[in-house]
Structure formats: structure tokens, C-alpha cells
Structure 1
């Protein structure tokens, strides 16, 4: 038999559980924790498995986000007593209108409400995810890190019954390496998909079950982020800066952000709508240009970049959210388009959406 054949033609190990959750982000871990706590309170056994492609939960998430704590307050009211890594409150908001040479600092009275962050926190999302994973495991949830879900399993009636994890140990041409391990079939009574924006399995499900019928087309941006370590005199813990205008042209949607975390860290980034019409526009290059503006450069010119990354962002809003309900499953978090683009926030909506569903 050709060893590049599909997993369906290979013998696989099988694991069964009550609930399978694909993705250990804020939505997936909150779902796991909420379900397990409800089962524990009711005195019922409920086996829950969470799959995550990272080596550990949070390992592929770049630090630096502004978080509205309202959903976490409902999920874990005593999160402060439990030592959640949420320490830095927002102390000041700035909205800058940039040209290639100048900067207009919008007066506080003119800053739109959706850009105001009083009561919010600047967090390391990676650390928050690690903490949430610990809370979930303590409650009895099993987390399988280092496993990606590559295939959805259906029964004869097209009900979702689980997923297959990716093979380990194949060459680029698909042939097996020494020590090859075939993917695992994880069978579940209910499967929750929390892959994030443009998840590969969610795209299959939306198309297969016509979940976007009657919805506005989803739109996407790319968010590019860098994490900087700066001298203490350049660090202003709690300062949140958003920018609009330069380096993007008038026809392109997007803007910049700069979040001052504690420990002399700054998260700096640029969001660019992927509907731009200029074929020469490069979001990466625009990000590099943003860093040269005097109003931004003054915070990082003596610092060192210690991390960088990018991710897709769904910004269609409520009108573009697909029907989340599936036969045997559910879409949550950015898989379901819950990010609030106008507020540039998605952590609390990822947690809250599941909390309300639960």
C-alpha cells in the first residue's frame, strides 16, 4: 500500500469522550471549564478533551491585548484570588491621527466610547491562556497539547462524531519517516470547534451545512504584532494608544496600536483590512513604516524586539456571524465570528458567548 494514502486507510488508535473541544484559546478553555464546573456541581461524570496544536496552551499566542474583564467575572468570579495573570489596569487612552510627518492627539472628550478602556486590563494573552488551562485541568478537563485536528468524522446521517488528529512523522512528500505515528480518532458525543478566525475545519462546516446562508459575507483583516522590551523610562504601564491614518492610504481600512504592559514590555501592531485594492500594499511593510513615525518611535527606539507574529481577524460583526449550531457540534469564539471589531476586542466575547450558551 502506498504510505502517502489518507488516514482513513490506516489503522488508528481511538479515544472516546463526552465532549471534544478543538482549540485551547479563550473560547475553548472557557467552554471546557464551564461545562466541567456545571457537571461537577450536578454530581455528574462528564469527560472533556481539549485539543491544541501548540506545544502547550498559549505557546503560539503573542502577548499584548486589552481585555474587558466582564465575562471572566461571570465565569470565575474569584479570578483575582486564584492568581490570574491580570495585573495591569488601563490608566490612559490616546487616539492619534497620523500623517507622514505630524500627529494630532485627539482630546479626551472627542475619543469615541468604543476606544475608551476604563476598567479594562492590558494582559499577556499567552499567560492568561496558560492560567485558564490550569483552571480547566484542575476541574478535571483533559488537555491534549501538540495535537492538531485535521479531519472531521461523521456518521451515516452526517452528524459530527469527532475528529482525527494529524499524523506525526511524515516527509514533505507524504511518505513516512522512521517513528511515524498515525493520527488518532477522537470520538465524542458533542464536538465544539474553537479554532480561531478562518479555522480550516470551521470553513468546511460552514460550507457543508450552509451556516452562512442569509448572512452578510465575512470580512477579514490581518493583525501584525511585535513585542518589545524597553528601558524603564520608555515604559508607561497602563497606557493604551490607537492610531488612524498614516501609514495606510485613504482607501485602506485599518490602524495601529501600542499597549504598555508591565515589566517594561510594549505590544505594538498594525491591523490592515484585507479588502485593500492597492496591489503594491504590503501589510508587513506598512507595519515597519509605522514604527518610524516620531510618535511611535519614541517609545521603542532604545528597546529590543523580543517577539513577533500575525493572525487573521474577522471583522464582519453580528451580520456576518454564521449559524453556530451543528448536528453534533457547535462553533464558538472567532470560529463563530464573535470578535467586536468596533471595540477591537475579542477575548471577552469569546468567553461570554460560550458562557451565555452554557
Structure 2
């Protein structure tokens, strides 16, 4: 019933905004409000999908998301919401504890509370007042966080020139620094076919790599990044491994999973050059992930590489292939951003 009421209230606000004289999106989506969103995402332990959505919204408004800033915020703003998979509680407990208004109260010192909100007033008007607060153990104060840093880290390196994302608040601490052998899957279909094959050459120390699962490659960037533990390793008690892909995954999943590798393999990104047996080094504290292959060998591989995904001949599939942006830009169409197709030209 509460969800129905919330949906109806949201519909009324949306309708009120669709009349002459109502605030335009550009008055609400500002650099300050985008930064506020980043702060909340890092502190709430939110889904990695959120940064793609935010990048798309920001791109429409002409204020591209800076992944380096998102990472800086994550180093400064800790996780405050004790919610799975980073913590112990469930979404309904967060709601009962006061939800976003209570979280805003805890974050008020690091937010710009003067930013406008869609139904009038400012963000400061949405902060829960002290007299409305009650005792709870889901939303923590800044002085007693769930984790010392924010939920997500942005990685760089020769595998992801434009970045990749890991939700390290919901990953295995023992794997935050890890070097392992790549086991490569060429597509979601290849993964489904081989991951549980008893003959698969894989060990718990390896790095599972899925490519051609990004916005152009899949197509559509499905939530395929949560690569399952191979059945023969799961039977031995293996619970987590380093996993790497140009796909997405659900925000409810736990694991040491590097996602949104940009540019994706199907767009000519270096992920396309990885071969099974290559050594991959992950160092989350240093914010990097690299394949330990020398530049000369990578250049040789690039010279003989062939596209794994064919460009569609016509129709919507062709339009999508030609104009979809990469994960770091929100997977929007280039011609729908504030700067138009220039976004894609600059990225290339």
C-alpha cells in the first residue's frame, strides 16, 4: 500500500512538472546535485548500476559525471547504512529507520543542502528533523560507519583506460590485492556453456573474465557480471573469486567483481586483447587493475584482432550500435546528451 501511495505521489509531481512555468530539468540537475547524489550513493552502499544511471542523467543535463570525483568522494564518505550486501539489514529496515531523510541528516555536513528538489524547496527541507528521529541501528552516524570508505571504488589501468567499478564494501577483503591467471569467456553464451564444465581449466586463484557483454557487445549490457563460481570449485567450498567484465550486476550481490570496464571489448577496449593464461593484477587500495602483458605483445594482438560483434546492417539495431555510449558515460545515446554526438567523438 505504501508503494502504491508513493507511486501516485510521484505521478502527481511528474504531472505538475509538465506544465508551462514549471522548473526545467536543468534547474534541478546541477553539478551540486550530482555531487550530492554521489555522496548518497557511496554512503548508502548502493548498486553499481547507480553510477550508470547518474551518468546518463548528468549527460542529458550537460554536466558529465567525473568518475575520479566519485572515487574521491568514496575515499572520504564512508558507508553509513547497515544494509545487505555491505551490511546485515534489509531494505524495509532502512525504510523503517527513517530512510533517505534520516540518512541526509547524518550526511548534512558533507552535502550541499541548498540544491533545489523536484517538488519545490531545497534538499535541506527534506532532512529529517531531530524531533522526528527514533532509536535505530540501521543508519549510522559519520563517527560510527559500517565501513571506513564508501561503497564503490573506481579503478584504472591498461585493462580499463576509461575506468571500471568495484563495490568493495561487498567484496572479500582478502582479494583486494590479488594476482591471478585469466580464464576468459567470450560472451554470455560462452560463459553459460562452459562455466560448470568439469574439464574447465580453472582454480580458485584465477580471475574469471567475461567480455563482449557491454552496451554494444551483448548488446544492452545485461546483469551478467556476477559470474558464478564454477561448480567444481563451489563444491570445494570456494565462495568468492576475482571476476572482471564489461557487464553490469545486481546491487544485491556480494563478491569481488570488477564491472563496467570501459571501453568495452566490442568497442575496441583492451579487454578484447586478454587471453586465457595472462596474469591479471588487482589492487583496489591503489585503484588499479592491469593485465601483466608487455606493450609490444598487446600491440601485436591488437594488429590481428577481429571484431567479435558484427555491426548490424540496418534498423534500430544499427542505430543502437552506432550511437550507444560506454558505461562511463551512462550508456545513453550520444545524440540525446546535451552536447550531442560530440560526446562520443571526444571519448574516442
- State the TM-score, normalized to the length of structure 2: 0.24
The structure richer in helix per residue is 2
- State the TM-score, normalized to the length of structure 1: 0.24
The structure richer in strand per residue is 1
